[in-house]
Structure 1
Amino acid sequence: MTAKKIIKYLCVFVVAPLIVLCGVFFFGDRKYAFISLVLSVVACIPFFISFEKGKNDARRIVIIAVMTALSVAGRFVFAPIPFFKPVTAIVIITAIYLGSEAGFITGSFSAVVSNFYFGQGPWTPFQMLAWGLIGFLAGLLAKKLVDSKVLLIIYGALSGIVFSFI
Structure 2
Amino acid sequence: MAVFLLFIVLLKGQHYLLFSFMCLICSILPAYWRFEHDPISTQTLMFIAVLIALAVATRVPLGAIPGVQGASFVIILSGVSLGPELGFITGSATALVSNMFMGQGPWTPWQMVAWGLMGLTAGLFMKARLSHSLIFMIIFAGVWGYLFGWIMDLWYALAYVSPLTLKSFILAFAASFFPFDTFHAAFNAFLVALFYKTWEKLFHRLVTKYNILPDKNH
Return the alpha-carbon distance in structure 1 between the equivalents of residues 17 and 143 of structure 2: 31
The corresponding residue for 1:117 is 101
Cα contact 1:146–1:152 (8 A) shared by 2: yes
- Percent sequence identity over matched residues? 36
Structure 2 residue aligned with 1:59? 43
Structure 2 length normalisation: TM-score?
0.56
Q: Is the Cα contact below 8 Å between 1:43 and 1:108 reproduced in 2?
A: no
Read off the aligned partner of 2:147 and give its amino acid letter.
V
Please give the alpha-carbon distance, in whole angstroms, between the structure 2 residues aligned to 1:40 and 1:47.
Answer: 11
Deviations along 1:99-119, whole A, 9 cap, x unmatched? 111110011000011111111
C-alpha spacing 1:50/1:124, structure 2 compared with 1 (3 Å): same
Paired amino acid for 1:150: I
Change in Cα spacing, 1:102 to 1:26, as seen in structure 2 (3 Å) is same
**Among candidates 2, 7, 16, match of residue 25 of structure 1:** 16
Report what 1:159 is aligned to: 144
Given candidates 150, 155, 164, the residue that maps to 2:135 is 150
Extract unaligned runs of 5+ from structure 2. 152-218
Query: What is the Cα deviation at residue 164 of structure 1?
Result: 0.6
**In the alignment, structure 1 residue 86 sits paired with structure 2 residue 70:** yes
User: 2:120 is matched with which residue: 136, 140, 144?
Assistant: 136
Q: Matched residues in 1 for 2:104 and 2:31: separation?
A: 17
**What is the CA-CA distance between 1:28 and the residue it aligns to?**
7.3
For the Cα contact (< 8 Å) 2:24–2:113, is it kept in 1?
A: no
For the aligned residues, what is the CA RMSD? Answer: 3.1
Partner residue of 1:46?
A: 34
The CA deviation at 1:45 is: 2.3
In the alignment, the residues of structure 2 paired with residue 38 and residue 72 of structure 1 have an alpha-carbon distance, to the nearest angstrom, of: 25
Contact 1:67 1:90 in 2 (8 A): yes
Greater shift in the superposed pair: 67-76 or 139-148: 139-148
Cα separation, 2, equivalents of 1:145 and 1:87: 21
Three-state SS of the structure 1 residue aligned to 2:65 is: coil
Instruction: Tell me the CA shift for residue 50 of structure 1.
Output: 4.2
Larger Rg: 2
What does residue range 62-81 of structure 1 map to in structure 2 within 5 Å?
Answer: 62-81=46-65
